Structure 1
């Protein structure tokens, strides 16, 4: 059965000029540094942002729960794929820079769009600080830097500013760094993920459930540690204005990148579980190093994996730095963020990059100077909550289009499939919020309410700016 009649035209969407004109190979400013991303780079952006440095620690983090944690991996993967498919459908309908912000604003108006942009922006710069601090631990294996907190702080700041400089150079260089770093980090990851299967010993897996809780409780508990691992599925959608043939390639890059990252996660974790004895894995601080040493002998695994982790994190920071500027850029074009965020150079919103890296640097310095890791850990957990706010708003926008008949499809079967996928993505987003924990939800809510004040100021300024124009029209 098909829906008869013509679908209603889509609502006017914000920032019509965000993306470069279709067919312009050099981006909106005509610079050769602002070339648009093709499918390979867009896919690398998604995979590179999902797979940061966390994968090098994940097997040891979830080992105390036993192999039941692999079930949690599977559930999370299904939810992440559902979210990726939803972003693909939304990008096909509205292929402009901004991702969840554009989708939420187009469906629900300015306030919902602002909340999506605000919460996503918080996620990006706090995550950047977290990645930089974590990268210092791997750098210390290669070059001792953690002997003094000032040295470690300086190293973390350098690690943040190098990707920022690549962004200032233009999207051409962002794409190049992203592609190279993604390829390089997959060499050791695939070595363990695939090579480890040849050394796999089931006797090393340990118990199925060693958490002391029921199976469902163990899945939920281990999933809480894995939630942060899938942040980044929206990467191609957020940068849709810089992707060639975005209506087609954003969806493909999102699904391929998410599925590829999930495959590496699952195979890598399974291989480590099967090569490192469970009692050793529980206490391991470098599980991939231990796996390589168990596979080939020697002690060179720690150095090799540390180098791979460092490359991985710098590549991840490179992509997240670009994404951290794209959302406020889109919001600023609509008057919801300060106008300074609209400034671009060589295809990159430079003010957004600068403000983001400064905020992340201040947070990094605070982390080292305070001498307390607990504050920073809570802020990292907050990113899980703040990221799911735009996820949930985006999936709600998709459900809104489907139920209202504005999805643009006349195929009833397709509508039902899209509704099921969007519902699964919404449930996944809510689960992410719950998994972040009470403290993170509390802190995240405070961040959101602070954003309400910013929105009030920006809305008042827009109202004042509109009054003279209205008076001139009435005169």
Structure 2
């Protein structure tokens, strides 16, 4: 960043159909978006409460109850991120979220890295959700004895939400609201009811990994980040939200806060009802918790159904985000133009390409016989999600340093600066906790995109040169 960050964006003037500051007609289009505050909040909460809450108690059990402390710290950081996204969306309410903010502040390359990294996060998350969903489907229909049936079920769980997305954004919103309500009720029941069956002796040691409470909390937080992916959902879909300048921030905070309450109580209930030794090897921890609470297997089956509904809803929302992540970049000429093709308000090829890549990753993980496919995929997304988070919080700090001091009262400036610095430090902490293996794989995914940027930037500049001649 030795040169002015605004110059790269200005140099890209030949790009079609994209402006960084919407004019009156575009602003009016935003006002008439398809999603109101309830649907936008449901989108945030539905994407946050996906497969994570149903799998993560077992995933963090090896670290002990220090992971509950990590959950609390993570919640504070997630709400800080939600507030930052709300402020950035008020400044620029375009579909694309982190990509839009990074590009406006730092130029095309930073915007591309944000969009590319977030796009990877979306379809890798879908693969992880499918892996988690199969574990709960096995509670109802024993299929994990057959690798072919397991792969087929995981693919079906990914393609059904994709078909709902291809039907149009109206159906996406309807599915999101219904699935959020259906999954919130049983989750709240377990979170509250589990406290009546709580047994502290089952919680296991505080530092089960033996790496110290700071190391254990950081490592647990890297896995737990997956459960908070989606805090930016309303910002990503700002172009589809009515009155995004107000509703994006509200939906982000409301959805994140509601999800956090369910998460903290639910994880605590599972830790206190399922013995730690059993939880370490559980593939359906919430079902195990309900079976302990009420006896028999009927309760676990009910929770398994709720988990599948929840994960299907999350896959529905994440499939939408997977299509929208490259959409804005494609309209600006930084992604292949095919990602900007819309039908019924949905980037149709973005849906198809993203679900295709997620399906391929799912097949490869199951076919390779990986015993911890969910944890591996989760840690990769912990890295790739952190990149756009860091760039977005850096963009917020950039605008504050550049000149916001003259536009806001000193008290508000200090509050916004503290919020931005806290969200930035939080993102750095998550990056550190992801671990070397996740960072290594994530960097490979991220740097592979540089070839795409080189190709697109070269073609765009060539067209600009030809027009000038």
TM, length-normalised to structure 2: 0.91
SS at match of 1:335: coil
Pick which of 211-220 and 395-404 moved more: 211-220
- Residue 5 of structure 1 corresponds to which residue in structure 2? none
Stretch of structure 1 that moved more, 198-207 or 227-236? 198-207
Alpha-carbon shift at residue 374 of structure 1 (Å): 5.9
Residue 326 of structure 1: aligned partner = 324
Measure the CA separation in 2 of the matches of 1:407 and 1:114. 29
C-alpha deviation, 1:404, in angstroms: 0.6
Q: Which range is displaced more, 14-23 or 404-413?
A: 14-23
For residues 207 and 384 of structure 1, do their structure 2 counterparts lie closer, same or farther at Cα, with a shift above 3 Å needed? closer
Q: What TM-score, normalized to structure 1? A: 0.90
Residue ranges of structure 1 left out of the alignment (5+ in a row) = 1-10, 28-34
Which residue of structure 1 lines up, in the alignment, with residue 69 of structure 2? 71
3-state SS of 1:233 partner: coil
CA positional deviation for 1:125: 1.0
In structure 1, the partner of 2:386 is 388
Query: What is the alpha-carbon distance in structure 1 between the residues aligned to residue 182 and residue 252 of structure 2?
Result: 20
Q: How does 1:327-366 map to 2 (within 5 A)?
A: 327-366=325-364
Cα 1:418–1:448 shift into 2, 3 Å: same
- Matched with 1:60 is 58
1:3 is matched with none
Structure 2 match to 1:245: 243
Displacement of 1:57 in angstroms is 2.4
Task: Give the conservation status (yes or no) of the 8 Å contact 1:205–1:273.
Answer: yes
Q: Determine the structure 2 residue equivalent to 1:466.
A: 464
Q: CA deviation at 1:203?
A: 4.3
Range with greater deviation from structure 2 (72-81 or 225-234): 225-234
Computed over aligned residues only, the root mean square deviation of the Cα atoms, in angstroms, reads 2.3
Q: Is the 8 A contact 2:222 2:379 kept in 1?
A: no
Q: Is the Cα–Cα contact under 8 Å of residues 59 and 375 in structure 2 kept in the other structure? A: no
Partners of 1:128 and 1:321 within 8 A in 2: yes
CA distance in 2, matches of 1:176, 1:457: 39
Deviation by residue 1:406-427 (Cα, 9 ceiling, x = unmatched): 4883211111111101111111
Return 5+ residue gaps in structure 2 as ranges.
Answer: 1-8, 11-17
CA contact (8 A) 2:223 2:378 kept: no
CA spacing shift, 1:15–1:332, aligned 2, 3 Å: farther
CA distance in 1, matches of 2:278, 2:35: 43
Seen in structure 2, the aligned counterparts of structure 1 residues 184 and 354 have a Cα distance that, compared at 3 Å, is same
Deviation at 1:213? 3.6
Gap change, CA 1:365 and 1:212, over 3 Å in 2: closer
Aligned partner of 1:100 in structure 2 is: 98
2:397 counterpart (399, 402, 413): 399
Count of residue pairs brought into register by the alignment:
454
Q: 1:85-134: per-residue Cα shift (whole Å, max 9, x none)?
A: 11011011111100000000000000000000111111111111121122
Following TM superposition, by how much is the alpha carbon of 1:60 offset from its aligned partner in structure 2, in angstroms?
2.8
Cα deviation for residue 316 of structure 1 reads 0.6
Deviation at 1:304, TM superposition (A): 1.0
How many angstroms does 1:14 deviate by?
3.5
- Residue 4 of structure 2 aligns with which residue? none
Is contact 1:61–1:282 with CA below 8 Å preserved after alignment? yes
165-174 vs 287-296, which moves further: 287-296
Question: Which residue does 1:195 correspond to in 2?
Answer: 193
Task: State how far apart, in whole Å, the 2-side matches of 1:204 and 1:180 are.
Answer: 35
Cα distance change of structure 1 residues 213 and 53 upon mapping to structure 2, 3 Å threshold: same
Given that residues 45 and 235 in structure 1 are in contact (C-alpha distance below 8 angstroms), is that contact kept between their aligned partners in structure 2?
A: yes
Residue number in structure 1 paired with 2:410: 412
| 1:275 positional shift | 2.9
**1:204–1:278 CA contact under 8 A, matched in 2:** yes
Q: Deviation at 1:48?
A: 1.2
Distance 1:361 1:467, change over 3 A: same
Q: What residue is the counterpart of 1:446 in the other structure?
A: 444
Is contact 2:55–2:132 with CA below 8 Å preserved after alignment?
no
Going from structure 1 to structure 2, the CA distance change for 1:37 and 1:61 (only over 3 Å counts) comes to: same
Matches within 5 A, 1:108-127: 108-127=106-125
Report the more deviating stretch, 141-150 or 416-425.
141-150
Distance 2:69 2:101 in 1: 32
Alpha-carbon distance in 2 for matches of 1:333, 1:90: 20
Paired position in structure 2 for 1:182:
180
- Preserved CA contact (<8 Å) 2:131 2:374: no
Counterpart contact for 1:14–1:106, Cα < 8 Å: no
SS where residue 297 of structure 2 aligns? coil
Distance change >3 Å, CA 21–CA 160, structure 1 → 2: same
* Partner Cα distance (1:84, 1:396) in 2: 14
> Contact conserved, 2:135 with 2:283, CA < 8 A, in 1?
no
Q: CA deviation at 1:143?
A: 2.3
Counterpart pick for 1:370 among 355, 362, 368: 368
* Conserved? CA contact 1:18–1:241, under 8 Å: no
